[in-house]
Amino acid sequence: MKYFLWLLKAAIFFTLFAFALNNQHDATVYFFFGTYWRAPLVLVVLAAFAGGMVVGALGMLPGWWKHRRAATQAPQPTAGVAVNPAPEGTATGTAQEPQIARQHGL
C-alpha cells in the first residue's frame, strides 16, 4: 500500500509538471479600470488556486473561533475517563460505556 501511494503521488506530480510545461504561454487577466496582469498561464492558475484557498480559509474562521471558544469554556476532564453512574436497579459492579460527546462532520 505504501508503494501504491508513492506511485500515485509521483503520477500526480508529473501530471502537474507536464501541465506547467505545456502552459507557458502568456495569459492576460483584466481587472477594473483598465488594469491587467500578463503572466504565464500556469502562474495565473496557481494564483487563482491560492486565492481560492485564502477565501475558503477566511470563510471558515468564524466557525473555528466559535469552536475554539466553546472548547476553552468547556469543563476540563478529570484524571480518569468519566463513566456513567449505574442506573437504579442494575448491578453497581458492571462497567458502563464512557460518556463521549458525539459530533457530526469530518
- CA distance linking residue 75 with residue 70, whole number of Å: 10
Quote the pTM value: 0.52
Q: Is the pLDDT of residue 101 over 80?
A: no
Task: State which residues form the domain around 21.
Answer: 12-73
The single-letter DSSP state of residue 27 is: E
Partnered with residue 27 across adjacent β-strands are 39
Collapse the DSSP code of 30 into the 3-class scheme (helix H, G, I; strand E, B; otherwise coil) and give the result. strand
Let me know if residue 17 belongs to a domain. Answer: yes
Please report whether residue 87 resides in a domain.
Answer: no
What is the count of structural domains for the chain?
1
pLDDT tens, residue by residue, 32-57: 999 999 998 888 888 999 999 999 99
- Residue 41: inside a domain, yes or no? yes
pLDDT in tens, 56-94: 999 999 998 998 888 888 777 666 555 555 566 555 555
* CA 98 distance to own-chain centroid: 29
76, three cell numbers: 476540563
Tell me, yes or no, whether 100 lies in a domain. Answer: no
